[in-house]
Amino acid sequence: MLSSTSRQIVLSSRAALLTRSRLSVSKVAARPAHGVCSSLHTEDTSWHGRSMGSRGAPVRGRGPTLHAHQSNSPRNFCTGPVGHNCWKCEQPLDTAPAFFCVSCKVVQPPEEGVSYFKIMACDHTFTLDTHQLQKRYLQLQRSLHPDNFSQNSVREQEYSENQSALVNKAYTTLLKPLSRGLYMLELEGVRIEEGTDAGADAAFLMELMEVNEAVDEARTPEEADTIGRDTRGKLADLTERIDAALRTGELQTARALLAQMKYHANIEEKVKEKLREFM
Q: Are residues 90 and 170 in the same domain?
A: yes
Residues 6+ apart with CB under 8 A from 186: none
Do 72 and 87 share a domain, yes or no?
no
Q: Is residue 229 part of a domain?
A: yes
DSSP string covering 160-190, please? HHHHHHHHHHHHHHHHSHHHHHHHHHHHTT-
Q: Which domain holds residue 96?
A: 83-175
Distance of alpha carbon 275 from alpha carbon 73, whole angstroms: 45
The residues near 3 (Cβ < 8 Å, ≥ 6 apart) are none
Instruction: Look at residue 47 and tell me if it is in a domain.
Output: yes
Query: In CATH, what number is assigned to the domain containing residue 157?
Result: 1.10.287.110
In a domain, 120, yes or no: yes
Sheet holding 77-78, edge to edge: 66-69, 37-42, 77-78
In this structure, are 133 and 102 located in the same domain?
A: yes
Report yes or no on 148 lying in a domain. Answer: yes
| 87 and 166 assigned to the same domain | yes
Last residue of a domain, one of 35, 57, 82: 82
Domain count, the chain: 3
Q: Which of 40, 58, 82 is the last residue of a domain?
A: 82
pLDDT tens figures, 27-64: 333 333 333 333 333 333 333 333 333 333 333 333 33
* Arithmetic mean of pLDDT over the chain: 76
Q: How many residues does the chain have?
A: 279
Q: At 12, is the secondary structure helix, strand, or coil? A: helix
Distance CA 63, CA 66 (A): 9
C-beta of residue 229 within 8 angstroms of C-beta of residue 24: no
The CATH number that applies at residue 230 is: 1.20.1280.20
Q: What are the angstrom distances between the C-alpha of 45 and each of 48, 155, 202?
A: 7, 41, 28
Domain boundary among 67, 82, 97: 82
pLDDT of 269 > 70? The answer is yes
Statement to judge: residues 48 and 77 lie in one domain: yes
Q: Are residues 78 and 90 in the same domain?
A: no
Q: Are residues 165 and 112 in the same domain?
A: yes
Domain-embedded: residue 259: yes
Across the range 109-130, mean pLDDT stands at 94
Phi-psi category of 61—alpha, beta or left, where left has phi over 0 and alpha has psi -120 to 50? Answer: left
H helix count then E strand count, the chain: 8, 3
Q: Is the separation of the CB atoms in 113 and 76 below 8 Å?
A: yes
Question: Does residue 42 form part of some domain?
Answer: yes
% of the chain exceeding 70 in pLDDT: 67
Instruction: Note the pLDDT tens digit of each residue in 182-237.
Output: 999 999 999 876 654 556 688 988 999 999 999 999 999 999 999 999 999 999 99
- For the chain, strand residue ranges (E) read 37-42, 66-69, 77-78
Burial 93-131 (b: 16+ CB within 10 A, else e): beeebbbbbeeeebbbbbbeebbbbebbebeeebebeee
59 and 104: one domain?
no
Whether residues 117 and 131 share a domain: the answer is yes
Say whether both 94 and 127 belong to one domain: yes
Cβ atoms of 77 and 71 within 8 Å: the answer is: no
Q: Is residue 20 part of a domain?
A: no
Looking at residue 236, what is its pLDDT? 95
The answer on 94 and 70 residing in a single domain is no
Residues 109-135 have a mean pLDDT of: 95
pLDDT at 157 > cutoff 90: yes
Is 13 within the bounds of a domain?
A: no
- 100/165 same-domain check: yes
